Amino acid sequence: QKEVEQNSGPLSVPEGAIASLNCTYSDRGSQSFFWYRQYSGKSPELIMFIYSNGDKEDGRFTAQLNKASQYVSLLIRDSQPSDSATYLCAVSSYSSASKIIFGSGTRLSIRP
């Protein structure tokens, strides 16, 4: 079993709709959860992080965490063509905060 799993996509969403990206992780000791966005040919950039169960909102982005189900998701409201990218879920544990484990990413395509 992979440590961090994501559906590779592509996930196609119409402009203006909600895009929902999902991620599961295997290490119950995981404490910190991150969403990175990577445009084609570019480097990953952090867009959201979450530590506690529940929702965290930042603009059009909402991260959701359920530690009991070992599940983290990212919702993008009012999707724009500029949101088309690969979204990487990443996880670290409190005991090894320096080691970030990345999922293989979900490719999101926003169609006009």
Partner 1 sequence: DTAVSQTPKYLVTQMGNDKSIKCEQNLGHDTMYWYKQDSKKFLKIMFSYNNKELIINETVPNRFSPKSPDKAHLNLHINSLELGDSAVYFCASSLLLAGGFNEQFFGPGTRLTVL
In the complex, the residues that contact partner 1 under the rule CB under 8 A are 8, 31-32, 34, 38, 42-46, 49, 51, 86, 88, 92-94, 97-102, 104-105, 107
Least distance (Å) between residue 78 CB and partner 1: 25
- Least distance (Å) from partner 1 to the CB of residue 66? 18
Q: Which is nearer to partner 1, 58 or 78 (CB)?
A: 58
Long-range contact pairs involving 72-77 (C-beta distance under 8 Å, separation at least 24) = 72/22, 72/23, 72/24, 72/25, 72/33, 73/20, 73/21, 73/22, 73/23, 74/20, 74/21, 74/23, 74/35, 74/47, 74/48, 75/18, 75/19, 75/20, 75/21, 76/18, 76/19, 76/21, 76/108, 77/18
Residue 21: CB minimum distance to partner 1, A: 14
Q: Which C-beta is closer to partner 1: that of 18 or that of 96?
A: 96
**Pick 17 or 46: Cβ nearer partner 1:** 46
Nearer to partner 1, 43 or 82 (CB): 43
| Least distance (Å) between residue 107 CB and partner 1 | 8
Residues 6+ apart with CB under 8 A from 42: none
